[in-house]
Amino acid sequence: MDTTAPPDTVRPERQGVPACTWDADVALEQLYAAHWKRLVRLAVLLVRDLGTAEEVVQDAFIAVHDRWRTLQDPERALAYLRQCVVNRSRSVLRHRSVVSRHLQTEAGRPLDEAPGADESVVALERRETVLEALAGLPRRQREVLALRYFEDLSEAGIATTLGISRGAVKSHASRGAAALRTVLADRTEAR
């Protein structure tokens, strides 16, 4: 293999290529296998609906593929993916109108159940309640909670992902957790 040639003119053989010189398509597949599901779930926590979450994460993977030559490392790629997911979720929410959000909340699904989808209604309701509560939190609190408690990121990792100080991470996390508890306690009592 001619290692001196720029990567965009010669395609290295896949076999025997060390991980650090993965090409972008192999990287994409590996990253997809390792992170797709979890990142979509993270995005659901941020934007609530699955279709939008998938769009957001799909765009993030495309962005990582584009940048692979500068990333060249699975850990950095994951950090970049997370950052894309958070940023893109944010812009989706910014564009989503209040009206449509309201509609989504109101929407029942009596006609839309797939056959055999016998998921327990209680579990579904509880899930909706948590997502609704998250949606009601200030953006930063929601992001910090999702990264800390779902992604298990450290304070430092969250600070880097969001571009805020560790102190800010700490205060968003504790306020967010407290707010979530209050909202969910109210919901439970209301039932």
Partner 1 sequence: MNSQDRRRNDEQIDQWVSRQLHDAVDEVEPSNRLGVLKRATSGQRPARATSPRSRPRWWAVGGAVAAVVCVTAVVTVAVNSSDNRTPTATDSGTGDDPSLAVDPSDDAPAMDQVALPVYYVGRTNGGDRLFREFQQASTNDPIGSAIQRSLTGTPNDPDYRSLWPSDVAVQSAKVRGGRIVVDLAGNGSLDQAGSLTSGEARLALQQLVYTAQAAAGEGRLPVKVRVADPDGTSVLGLPLKGTLRQADPMTTLNLISLSSPAEGQQVDGDTLEVDGAASSFEASVSWEITRDDESVAEGYTTAESSDPGRLSPFQTEIDVSDLDPGEYTLTVSTDDPTGGAEGNGPDTDDRTFVIE
Judged by the rule CB under 8 A, the positions of this chain that interact with partner 1 are 7-8, 11, 23-25, 28-29, 32, 36-37, 40-42, 44-45, 49-55, 57-59, 61-63, 65-66, 92, 95-97, 100-101, 103-104, 106-116, 119, 123, 126-127, 130-131, 134, 145-146, 149-150, 177, 180-181, 184
CA distance 46 to 41: 9
Q: Which is nearer to partner 1, 19 or 103 (CB)?
A: 103
Least Cβ distance, residue 37 to partner 1 (angstroms):
6
CA distance 83 to 79: 6
CA of residue 133 relative to chain centroid, distance: 17
Least Cβ distance, residue 164 to partner 1 (angstroms):
19
DSSP state for residue 111 in the 8-state scheme:
T
Least Cβ distance, residue 40 to partner 1 (angstroms):
4
Residue 77 contacts residue 64 (beta carbons within 8 Å):
yes
Least Cβ distance, residue 167 to partner 1 (angstroms):
17
- Beta-carbon contacts of 119 under 8 Å, excluding residues fewer than 6 positions away, are none
